[in-house]
């Protein structure tokens, strides 16, 4: 790749960030926390990155990069991968995730992922029966994404993901689209092991619920006519857009012993800004120990929900098949912690 192309890529990326900033899309609005549409977009997946404090955007690679930074999808040593992940989220909610990816010489890498949320059965209530009608429903939240990633040089990779969001709650539903954009630069400043990354995530139009569940029977005041159906106009909410500026450093500390340190500054349009840190120790690229922390400034300490993270993993090759199993634990304020199990297969 010619140097002018690298400069052009950086100029375009900086221009996009400046444009988003001037439009007020990224303001670090802690006072608007909990008001976004599609909050499931912010639920992380993949035990390795979660255990490292959700801070791996600069160097995450392969199929694990689909969620964290799509630019890393093309940084893989296998021709195809599959990933399956399960998380015990808060309030007995389960997060299920599955993805497949393949690399094509001369074209790049393509990945397909699906995340679903299992809420279980919920009893229906209304104005006349606040304790329940005896009927139940099960909300359905599904996000399906298609990712494309390309290595521009041996150091620079780019990627984009398009997500289709579907939410159904009893007789109302909402559908939306969101895009993620990412860039990774390895051996930055000619320093081996140093990587930087930028990920702009969840960019898309606002979402609104609609459906028959929004109709209510009521009588108009001061009018001589019987009760009729009126539709409640649901509010339109923004997507929880973020910008991540990330750095990572991988360094061998002895033969078969490697240490990785990562950090991320995350700017949120509808929540407080976050600082994330993580580390991974690897033995012979087969056994891994991880830890991380998600930090907010002291002025926003009361709004912090998630804290320290821990995890471990193993990876083993069986001929042409590589199997990786990872576990992560994320502490949660006031509630039980999250447990995550992930299996990654490389072919």
Instruction: Tell me the average pLDDT of the chain.
Output: 89
Split into its structural domains, the chain has a count of: 1
pLDDT at residue 281, as a whole number: 98
| End-to-end Cα spacing for the chain | 29
With tokens 């599609």, the residue in question is 38
Q: pLDDT tens-digit profile of 197-225?
A: 999 999 999 999 999 989 888 887 777 77
CATH of the domain at 26: 2.40.160.40
Identify which of 57, 53, 88, 64 has the alpha carbon closest to the alpha carbon of residue 291. Answer: 53
pLDDT at residue 218, as a whole number: 82
* Gap between the Cα atoms of 234 and 25, Å rounded: 22
pLDDT at residue 3, as a whole number: 42
**Measured CA angle at 328 (ends 149, 345), to 5 deg:** 45
**Measured CA angle at 345 (ends 343, 346), to 5 deg:** 150
Surface-to-core class of residue 45, CB atoms within 10 Å of its CB (0-12 exposed, 13-18 middle, 19+ buried): buried
Identify which of 298, 295, 241, 263 has the alpha carbon closest to the alpha carbon of residue 29. Answer: 241
Q: Cβ distance 300 to 338 under 8 Å?
A: no
* Gap between the Cα atoms of 23 and 123, Å rounded: 42
Strand partners, 166: 142, 175
Identify which of 258, 264, 316 has the alpha carbon closest to the alpha carbon of residue 282. Answer: 258
Model pTM score: 0.88
pLDDT at residue 302, as a whole number: 59
pLDDT at residue 16, as a whole number: 46
Q: pLDDT tens-digit profile of 308-331?
A: 999 999 999 999 999 999 999 999
Q: Cβ distance 86 to 134 under 8 Å?
A: no
pLDDT at residue 12, as a whole number: 46
Compute φ and ψ for 298, nearest 5 degrees. -60, -30
* Gap between the Cα atoms of 35 and 54, Å rounded: 22
List Cβ neighbours of 162 (8 Å cut-off, separation of 6 or more). 145, 146, 177, 178, 179
- Between 306 and 58, whose confidence is greater? 58
Domain span holding position 321: 3-346
* Gap between the Cα atoms of 120 and 140, Å rounded: 9
Copy the structure tokens of residue 124.
């229906």
* Gap between the Cα atoms of 282 and 342, Å rounded: 17
Q: pLDDT tens-digit profile of 31-53?
A: 555 678 999 999 999 999 999 99
Q: pLDDT tens-digit profile of 260-317?
A: 999 999 999 988 889 999 999 999 999 999 999 988 775 555 567 888 999 999 999 9
Copy the structure tokens of residue 48.
């390795």
Is it the case that residue 17 has pLDDT exceeding 50?
no
């Amino acid at each position: 790749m010619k140097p002018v192309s690298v400069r052009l890529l950086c100029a375009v990326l900086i221009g996009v960030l400046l444009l988003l900033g001037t439009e007020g899309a990224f303001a670090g609005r802690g006072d608007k926390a909990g008001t976004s549409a599609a909050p499931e977009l912010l639920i992380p997946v993949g035990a390795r990155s979660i255990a490292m404090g959700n801070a791996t955007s600069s160097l995450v690679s392969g199929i694990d990069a689909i969620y964290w930074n799509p630019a890393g999808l093309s940084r893989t040593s296998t021709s195809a991968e599959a990933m399956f992940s399960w998380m015990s989220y808060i309030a007995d909610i389960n997060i299920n995730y599955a993805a497949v990816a393949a690399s094509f010489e001369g074209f790049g890498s393509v990945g397909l992922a699906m995340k679903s949320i299992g809420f279980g059965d919920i009893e229906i209530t209304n104005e006349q029966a606040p304790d329940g009608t005896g009927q139940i429903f099960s909300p359905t939240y599904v996000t399906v994404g298609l990712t494309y990633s390309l290595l521009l040089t041996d150091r620079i990779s780019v990627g984009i993901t398009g997500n289709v969001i579907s939410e159904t709650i009893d007789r109302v539903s909402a559908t939306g689209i969101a895009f993620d954009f990412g860039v990774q630069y390895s051996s930055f400043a000619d320093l081996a092991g140093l990587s930087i990354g930028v990920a702009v995530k969840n960019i898309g139009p606002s979402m609104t619920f609609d459906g028959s569940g929004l109709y209510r029977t009521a009588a108009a005041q001061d009018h001589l006519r019987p009760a009729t159906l009126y539709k409640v106009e649901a509010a339109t909410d923004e997507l929880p857009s973020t910008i991540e500026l990330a750095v990572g450093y991988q360094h061998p500390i002895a033969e078969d012993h490697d240490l990785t340190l990562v950090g991320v500054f995350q700017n949120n349009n509808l929540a407080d800004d976050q600082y994330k840190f993580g580390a991974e120790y690897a033995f012979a690229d087969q056994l891994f120990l991880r830890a991380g922390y998600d930090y907010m400034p002291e002025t926003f300490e009361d709004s912090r929900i998630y804290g320290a993270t821990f995890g471990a993993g193993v990876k083993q090759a069986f001929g042409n098949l590589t199997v990786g199993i990872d576990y992560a634990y994320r502490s949660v304020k006031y509630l039980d912690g999250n447990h995550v199990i992930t299996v990654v297969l490389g072919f």
